[in-house]
Amino acid sequence: MTERQIELTENFKRVRERIAEAALRRGGGEVTLLGATKTVPAEDIVFAAENLGLTAAGENKPQEFAEKYDAVSPLLDFQFIGRLQRNKAHLVVGRASLIHSVDSVRLAKQIDLSASRLGIVQDVLLEVNIGREESKTGFLPEETAEAEAMIAALPSVRVRGIMTMAPACDKKDELRKYFEETYSIFIDIFQKKSHNIREYILSMGMSDSFVEAIEEGATLVRIGSALFGRRSYQ
Nearest to 163 by CA among 228, 83, 231, 56: 83
**In the prediction, which pLDDT does 173 show?**
83
pLDDT score for 193: 74
Question: pLDDT tens, 20-45?
Answer: 999 999 999 999 999 999 999 999 99
Q: What is the pLDDT of residue 174?
A: 86
pLDDT computed for residue 230 by the predictor: 81
In a domain, 234, yes or no: no
Residue 51 scores a pLDDT above 60: yes
The confidence score (pLDDT) of residue 232 equals: 61
Kindly tell me if the per-residue pLDDT of 84 is higher than 60: yes
Query: Could you tell me the residue range of the domain that residue 223 belongs to?
Result: 3-227
64-73 residue pLDDT tens: 999 999 999 9
Task: Over range 49-73, report the average pLDDT.
Answer: 96
Name the 3-class secondary structure at 161: strand
pLDDT at 195: 59
Res 228: pLDDT: 97
Whether residue 33 lies inside any domain: the answer is yes
Q: Is residue 139 part of a domain?
A: yes
For 75-89, 122-136, 169-183, which range has the lowest pLDDT when averaged over its residues?
169-183
SS3 for 18-62, per residue? HHHHHHHHHCCCCCEEEEECCCCCHHHHHHHHHHCCCCEEEECCH
Tell me what pLDDT residue 183 has.
97
Report how many domains make up the chain.
1
CA dihedral 95, 196, 206, 37 (to 10 degrees): -20
| Domain assignment of residue 141, yes or no | yes
Report yes or no: 159 and 115 within 8 Å, Cβ to Cβ.
no
Asked, for residue 123, whether it belongs to a domain, the answer is yes
Q: Please report whether residue 233 resides in a domain.
A: no
Amino acid identity for residue 167 in this structure: P
Give the tens place of pLDDT for each residue, 182-230: 999 999 999 877 555 568 999 999 999 999 999 999 999 999 999 999 8
Residue 104 has pLDDT above 70, yes or no: yes
Taking only the tens place, the pLDDT of each residue in 133-192 is 988 899 999 999 999 999 999 999 999 999 999 888 878 888 999 999 999 999 999 987
SS3 category, 125: strand
Quick check: helix, strand or coil at residue 63? Answer: helix
Would you say residue 133 lies in a domain? yes
Q: What is the mean pLDDT of the chain?
A: 94
**What is the C-alpha to C-alpha distance for residues 18 and 24, in angstroms, rounded to an integer?**
10
- What is the DSSP pairing of strand 99-102 with strand 122-128? parallel
Is 102 strand, coil or helix? strand
CATH number for 21:
3.20.20.10
- The radius of gyration computed from the CA coordinates of the chain, to the nearest angstrom, equals 17
In a domain, 170, yes or no: yes
Report residue 23: phi and psi, to 5°.
Answer: -65, -40
